[in-house]
A = this chain, B = another copy of it.
């Protein structure tokens, strides 16, 4: 560890340790559940945002909320008319999730403030810490900010029986009509770049052992089918021979299995791709000795590469057509939800890479398989880059883990990239 990074740990460590500890205390799941729960626009997320607002104000940052309830904390630069550098992540968590998914990226965004102040450095332009709302339920805070929220989104409930998003926004005094009006909540040319640090959502980085910080090359695009329904004909299991079957369960199973084989083939050809069937289910009335007349499944396909994305999306559609004919069933699919791949900005990447090199911090380039608010900024034409922090226990669970050294290394690299931005 160089003198610089140990100084950085001395300056930032205590503040960060307290932040994680305080927010965990404010939002831990009630016993006997474990982990933290700060759902989007819940009182727990509100408490988190309020805490971060006070922490920022205590550091002398200017604070402001936008029309989606996102918190902006600004460290003024020398020329305040220049587009700002922005860094942050989301304040919310999943139900009984870990403390770091989202919060680590906000905490990391505070570190440049602490370090620059300690070093007496004033940046050429404003630097803004951005605390986003409600990422886990469809990137709501950033989508609203960027003018992409749709009226239909207001009817969504994140948990059965809970208020709708529209109701939650109203409770927060936020103007739902303005949020879904199709216009960004701010002049987006006022954002020069968005940096997001985040714990990696798998343990790939942690398993590598060669580097503890990931430089995210891009965020995989997603094709999501929430419901693909096979409709066949229910009939007696023992009495209906092979040629007379219209087996919906078997049709779905064959689709999943064939797609798995084709995924393996695409990987062998060098494509970046992940494909997942999260849910497959015959109706509750299905019984062992009856051929299933109905079956539903979901499909989540992701790729970082635009061509591989389009190619495999076509493979999926063709497979559905072929299987419908082969199995004598009909497939009905909800419209695909498509988020194209988003690539990190090469200039920002270069700043991060060179910054890490100069500090002697090992980094590993890697795609992000999970979606992130940063992808929304990229899709809106704002250059972005992401840093991954090694994680030992996966994410979205109470046992999610992160080492403070790894966190501080990522925050140090982020700080260095901000300083290098105008050099």
Contacts and interface: CB of A to CB of B under 8 A. Distances in A.
Chain A contact residues, majority secondary structure: mixed
Given A250-B257, A298-B288, A202 B279 contact: no
Given A242-B274, A276-B237, A288 B224 contact: yes
Given A253-B280, A277-B253, A282-B278, A240 B287 contact: no
A186 B236 CA distance: 33
Contacts of A263: 242
A279 B274 contact: no
Interface residues of A, number: 59
Interface stretch (A52-60, A117-125, A364-372): A364-372
Contacts of A260: 250, 253-254
A202 B246 CA distance: 13
Interface in A340-376: 368-371
A390 interface: no
B238 A300 contact: yes
Contacts of A255: 253
Nearest to A280: B249
Interface of A: 200-202, 204, 220, 222, 224-226, 235-242, 244, 247, 249-250, 252-258, 260, 263-264, 267, 274, 276-282, 286-292, 295, 298-300, 302, 368-371, 394-396
7 contacts: A202-B241, A224-B288, A239-B274, A253-B280, A276-B288, A278-B292, A279-B292
